[in-house]
Amino acid sequence: MTTEGAPLRSTTGRRILAAFGAVLVLFGIALSVQLTTLHKIGEAESEVARLDHAKHAGHMAAAQVREQYIHQAHTLIEFGPGHLGHYQIVVEETNRAIQHLESVSETASDKQLATQIAALAHQNDRDFRTIVVPAITRGDREAVAKLGDGLEEIVDRVVDLNEQLNADLEARSIAARERAESLRSQSVTWTIVCFALAIVLATGVGLWLMRTIVRRVEALRAGARRVGSGDLSARIVLEGHDEFAELASSFNQMAASLSDEQAALVKSQKLASIGQVAAGVAHEINNPLSVILGYTKLLRKEGSAHAEELQIIEDEARLCQRIVSELLELARPQRLETSAVDLAEIAREAIERLTDAGALRDRSVQLLDGPAVVVSADAGKLRQVIANVVVNAAEATPPSGTITIDAKTRGDEATLTVADDGPGIPPEVQNTLFEPFVTTKPKGTGLGLAIAQAIVDAHGGRISVESSPDAGTRVSLRLPVSHRAEAAAR
């Protein structure tokens, strides 16, 4: 039970949170895998773009070197310096293209190839300026024709180097593309796996909620329905320690106290109607009973021949009187004249009186020694209760039987037990002992224990009975100890 003020242990809330948390974690993992893969795909694609850019720069550089040679060839054909101004512009463009190629080259082998291309381009320009142009100026056509072939050869080597560079870049570009493609398909597989797992998990969570929550709510609803339809014995059995189990336990307590209250209400209503009947009966019957008793007494005094029959009439009339007066006592609200009394002392007095009256039928009654057990009570009424219980014990036990009375104080409670070694309480009356008119004795009224309970209740105490055929019967009276009364008694 959750006590007031204690933090509520929301077990169900925690479980639901954990279940949905697991689904969320799965989605989180799927998302982070997706993001990482997307990042890697982006890297691979930008590598492809860089490699394509480098390929383009290689092509541009090679084309520019070829362009440079075309302008050299122009000068060779013209065989004069007329075109050299324009050639200079082309050389500058070639230098820019080669510088660009060097700047975009990433790997050592790319850089080496770019450096070789740059060296050949510079060699081509240098040979043209320092050897070919002076030969033209000198008018040496034969030397110029040979030198022209050398220049073209350099250009061919540049083209070869560029093809080598291009093949290398292309291979890496294909590898990067394939990597991006494989990452894309991995990402699709992961997404499918994560979603499938999330669906399985969500279905599992749903089924689990069905099992643990819906079923428990259903059990609570069924219990509430039974109580609602008037079955106060309905109890809800829920295993575990969650809120539903706590609710079920609170519900069971509520049903139990409702049932107790209903029983108490029925009992008080029963007593009230008994009281009304008893008052009417007492009023109507007491006078005729007194007359009957008066006449029987008179007839016996005069020495009637029917003395035995008269005795029976007198006994039965007295039983009627007793029933009426006990009924009145049971129905009337108990008015207590309380004082500090010692339970053991009251028990001793009760035994003495019963012994004097011959009510104990020579059974041996033992009152155990002990310190005074002081309670604040109506001594007369408590004596009546003890007397009834002891007489019941005496009536139940065989002549050799023993009755033991023990009075004790335990904490704030005073206890008086009357134990006998008789045959125990007959099963047919075990559950209705404290109800009026429940008796197994031919001459019993069945009001003794009902009155005893009414008196003990009025004292704020409890009376209970334990009984078994082997161990006899033990009746316990529990009364609250009044510390003030205890002090007053000292």
Ligand X SMILES: Nc1ncnc2c1ncn2[C@@H]1O[C@H](COP(=O)(O)OP(=O)(O)OP(=O)(O)O)[C@@H](O)[C@H]1O
Which of Mg ion, ligand X, none lies near 288, with the C-beta cut-off 5 to 8 A by kind? none
Which of Mg ion, ligand X, none lies near 439, with the C-beta cut-off 5 to 8 A by kind? ligand X
Helices (H), 302-378: 307-331, 343-357
Q: Which residue is nearest to Mg ion (CB)?
A: 448
- Residue 128, number of CB atoms within 10 A of its CB: 25
One residue of 120, 396, 416, 455 binding ligand X per CB under 6 A: 396
Strands of the 462-468 sheet, one edge to the other: 364-367, 402-410, 413-420, 472-480, 462-468
One residue of 422, 448, 461, 472 binding Mg ion per CB under 5 A: 448
Q: How far is the CB of 389 from Mg ion (least distance, A)?
A: 8
**Could you give the CA distance from residue 102 to residue 94 in angstroms, rounded to a whole number?**
12
Binding pattern for the stretch 12-41 against Mg ion, x by CB under 5 A and - elsewhere? ------------------------------
Kindly state whether residue 392 participates in binding Mg ion, applying the rule CB under 5 A.
Answer: yes
> Interface with ligand X by CB under 6 A: which range of 358-366, 375-383, 388-396, 477-485?
388-396
Which of ligand X, Mg ion, none lies near 219, with the C-beta cut-off 5 to 8 A by kind? none
One residue of 116, 252, 325, 439 binding ligand X per CB under 6 A: 439
**Count, residues near ligand X per rule CB under 6 A:** 22
Classified as helix, coil or strand, 339 is strand
**Could you give the CA distance from residue 94 to residue 55 in angstroms, rounded to a whole number?**
16
> Interface with ligand X by CB under 6 A: which range of 30-38, 125-133, 360-368, 423-431?
423-431
Which of Mg ion, ligand X, none lies near 278, with the C-beta cut-off 5 to 8 A by kind? none
Q: How far is the CB of 426 from ligand X (least distance, A)?
A: 5
The dihedral through the CA atoms of 226, 230, 235, 241 has a sign that is positive
List, in sequence order, every beta strand (DSSP E) within 324-412.
339-342, 364-367, 374-377, 402-410
**Could you give the CA distance from residue 36 to residue 31 in angstroms, rounded to a whole number?**
9
Q: How far is the CB of 392 from ligand X (least distance, A)?
A: 3
Q: Which of residues 455-484 bind ligand X (CB under 6 A)?
A: 473
Q: Which residue carries 């007492």 as its tokens?
A: 282
**Could you give the CA distance from residue 139 to residue 280 in angstroms, rounded to a whole number?**
164
| Complex with Mg ion: residue 376 or 392, whichever CB lies closer | 392
The angle, 0 to 180 degrees and rounded to 10, between the axes of the packed helices 379-396 and 448-458 is 150
**Could you give the CA distance from residue 114 to residue 61 in angstroms, rounded to a whole number?**
9
Q: How far is the CB of 477 from ligand X (least distance, A)?
A: 13
Q: How far is the CB of 232 from Mg ion (least distance, A)?
A: 30
Which of ligand X, Mg ion, none lies near 422, with the C-beta cut-off 5 to 8 A by kind? ligand X
| Complex with ligand X: residue 213 or 320, whichever CB lies closer | 320
- Residue 78, number of CB atoms within 10 A of its CB: 12
**Could you give the CA distance from residue 46 to residue 366 in angstroms, rounded to a whole number?**
107
One residue of 47, 329, 406, 420 binding ligand X per CB under 6 A: 420
Q: How far is the CB of 448 from Mg ion (least distance, A)?
A: 3
Cα separations in angstroms, 205 against 198, 202, 217: 10, 5, 17
Kindly state whether residue 429 participates in binding ligand X, applying the rule CB under 6 A.
Answer: yes
Kindly state whether residue 433 participates in binding ligand X, applying the rule CB under 6 A.
Answer: yes
Which residue type does 176 have?
A
Q: How far is the CB of 324 from ligand X (least distance, A)?
A: 13
Cα separations in angstroms, 336 against 215, 380, 459: 53, 9, 8
> Interface with ligand X by CB under 6 A: which range of 80-88, 151-159, 193-201, 420-428?
420-428
| Among candidate residues 270, 231, 277, the one with its CA nearest the CA of residue 438 | 270
Q: Which residue carries 């039970």 as its tokens?
A: 1
**Count, residues near Mg ion per rule CB under 5 A:** 2
Q: Which residues bind Mg ion (CB under 5 A)?
A: 392, 448
Q: Which residues bind ligand X (CB under 6 A)?
A: 388, 392-393, 396, 420, 422, 425-426, 429, 433, 438-441, 444-450, 473
